[in-house]
Amino acid sequence: MSVLEQNFPVVQKKLSVDLKGNNTDIIICSYDDHFLVIATQIGTMGTILHARKDADISVHPTFSVSVIFGKRDEPMLVACARQLIEHISSFGTSQPLVLSLGLKDHSAETLKGIVSAVTENRLW
């Protein structure tokens, strides 16, 4: 289920998906200067990551992902942020992404489900 909120000053979508038996709430917000995606199975923000496209110096773009708060030893969370920023970039925008992942399950299947749900309901 997806809800597009227009009354709030920031355009946002809220949805809920079931990933491997865990209810996952996702909020996607589009600010003037960045995108915010919150995905939680535990009701809190969890690990917060920042992802951006680096300056176009060459033909092949490069991306930077860093953990702002939370688990720094979870490479799958970084991979999730990288997939999302690559997807955002492919639509021609250079806005960075702030991604919050509060998950019970950090498996590749869960993270692929989050990427899929976010890209299907994108605001970029």
Tens of pLDDT, residue by residue over 5-30, are 566 688 999 999 999 999 999 999 99
- Band of the pLDDT at 2, cuts 50, 70, 90? low
Per-residue pLDDT, averaged over 119-123, amounts to 95
Q: How many CA atoms lie within 13 A of 98 on its CB side?
A: 13
Stated pTM of the model: 0.90
Per-residue pLDDT, averaged over 23-44, amounts to 97
Give the C-alpha separation, 37 to 120, whole Å. Answer: 13
Q: Are strands 35-40 and 97-102 parallel, antiparallel or unpaired?
A: parallel
Q: Which residue in this structure is represented by tokens 């970084």? A: 78
Q: What is the pLDDT of residues 44-92, one digit of tens each?
A: 999 999 999 997 666 788 999 999 999 999 999 999 999 999 999 999 8
Question: Would you state the pLDDT for residue 1?
Answer: 57
Per-residue pLDDT, averaged over 96-123, amounts to 96
How many helices, marked H, and strands, marked E, lie in the chain? 2, 7
Residue that wins the pLDDT comparison between 3 and 86: 86
Q: Which residue, 45, 124, 49, 117, is CA-closest to 79?
A: 49
Q: How many CA atoms lie within 13 A of 95 on its CB side?
A: 17
Give the C-alpha separation, 117 to 56, whole Å. Answer: 28
Question: Would you state the pLDDT for residue 10?
Answer: 87
